[in-house]
Amino acid sequence: MTDNLETKINRGVAWTGASQAVIAIADLVSQLLVVSIWLTKVEFGIAMMAVPLYVVLDSAADLGVTSALIQRDDHTPDRISTVFWFNLMVSSGLFGVLFLIGPLYGRLQGYPVVGWLLIAYGGKLLLQNVYAIPYALLRKELRFADIAKIRTAAYLVESVARVALAAPRDQGPPGHGEARPPERALM
């Protein structure tokens, strides 16, 4: 292994580790704030009815196609475009299914908000197409420092947004006032 490649890999591992630590801490703190201050145990339990499906939806949205970009060396603009449009079609299809099935699932669970959480996650699947191809190409080029910086910034924004969007707007300080209906708390 050449010194340059070894140095690049070592720096990439360091950047990735530091990024993961910052992401994990920001994620933990923001989730603890939301769960401990603004959600009751019941509201949290209701939200968790949708979360197990997120992993399945993420896997279905990609189907390993972006990983194939990393593995293969014959990247042409046409091939990259095909992967992008394929992923967009798959995630659009999933969004459509979630848009139709989500409300039914929410009603079946007894909490319509669960369906809206699934629809919102379908929207996330659509948006992730914006970065999926560039992310895969950066990984292929071993540009781990760039990836770590982008991921850290994105997750910090996500954590701040999570807290900001979960904060109640029509009540006094956290922990005061009447309990909110689950639909209001989780929107």
pLDDT in tens, the chain (187 residues): 566 878 877 888 888 899 889 988 998 898 888 888 888 888 888 988 998 898 889 888 878 777 777 777 777 888 888 888 998 999 999 999 999 999 999 999 999 999 999 999 999 889 888 888 888 888 888 888 899 998 899 889 988 988 888 777 655 455 544 444 444 444 4
| Range(s) of the domain holding residue 149 | 3-185
Residue 105 has a pLDDT of 95
Long-range contacts of 97-106 (CB under 8 A, 24+ apart): 97/122, 98/57, 98/122
Cα 147 to Cα 47: distance, rounded to the nearest angstrom: 30
Residue 58 has a pLDDT of 85
pTM over 0.85: no
As for how many domains the chain has, the answer is 1
Residue 96 phi, psi (nearest 5): -60, -45
